[in-house]
Amino acid sequence: MIKDVYYQKEMPDPVFESSFCLSLVRPFVPDAKEVCGIDETGGEARTYAIDSDIILKVQRPHQLRLSTSLEREVFFLKYLEKHSDVSVPRVLGYGKDGTLEYTVMTRMPGKAYKYADLTGKQRENMLFELGKTLYKIHSIDKKPFLESGLYPDIDIPGDMKNRMKSRFDRVLNWLLSSGKITQADIDRANEEAAPILEKLPDAEILTPLHANPGPEHVFVNEEGVFSGLIDFGDSYISHPIYDFRSTPVRERSMLLEGYISEEELSENFKQLWNFCYALDSIVDVLRNKR
């Protein structure tokens, strides 16, 4: 399991002039006219909105890490082009020159549901459609991904427990540092988690994952209807259960309904679902502690 280390964090992080951005985009989109906005909320990459329908995504040099890759995202998105029923951005161009790495892609219509005022029913429908989309993504052939050389983070038997425990610890430590919980809370949480982790079975299937299909990366249109999924730069290969963990525990049932509308879960998947749900519920209680 890859550790998140930024290995050139002293590099400068310039915001590019509009003219330079357009010089990167125009070889792929000759009639590109102007930079309409800049978004830095992605962390590892900075995005420039070009006109109304194009995104220029540039790797921020000081945020370079092994677990994130624009090249990996391009590979994933181009592979998904053959799956027309999966709504993701379309890659128009990609370039790398020294420390400069960038992608030109279409803009996903609508906005991230994190910023959308959805009714309860709209949210349920969105999660159902997201579940269907995740199933289609998880069903693609993993062989090209394994052979690409772009996916160093591939789970092996026994990694399930390490990955789940690592995420469990990371969230608890964040809650502790933010003052939401105490060390006594962590001790009790670890006691509850120990028997769950002890019984956790190994995964029987591995597949390419989005990594974080959560509120920042799932888009809805003006009517609050699911429109697509963005940002595959953190993708890795493991069990599908991890792509459910970006959704709050209390909302995962609708996500699962959409997922199993395509195909019933295997017994191994059901077991992992139940163990993961129990583990994340421990954290959820502490996250919402008053």
- Domain assignment present for 5: no
Question: Above 60 in pLDDT, residue 82?
Answer: yes
Domain assignment of residue 56, given as a range: 18-106
- Domain assignment present for 2: no
Q: What is the CATH number of the domain that holds 177?
A: 3.90.1200.10
- Both 118 and 235 in one domain: the answer is yes
The pLDDT of residue 65 is: 66
Of 28-42, 59-73, 229-243, the least confident: 59-73
Q: Which two tokens stand for residue 123?
A: 């949210």
Cβ atoms of residues 20 and 12 within 8 Å? no
Tell me the pLDDT band of 11, cut-offs 50, 70 and 90.
confident
Cβ atoms of residues 209 and 243 within 8 Å? yes
User: Which of 81, 106, 131 is the last residue in one of the domains?
Assistant: 106
Q: Which helix (H) or strand (E) holds 159?
A: helix 159-177
Cβ atoms of residues 206 and 172 within 8 Å? no
Return the percentage of the chain with pLDDT > 90, whole number.
77
Question: Above 60 in pLDDT, residue 1?
Answer: no
Q: Which amino acid is at 198?
A: E
pTM: 0.91
Return the percentage of the chain with pLDDT > 70, whole number.
93
For the chain, what is the domain count? 2
> Mean pLDDT across the chain, nearest whole number?
91
- Both 185 and 273 in one domain: the answer is yes
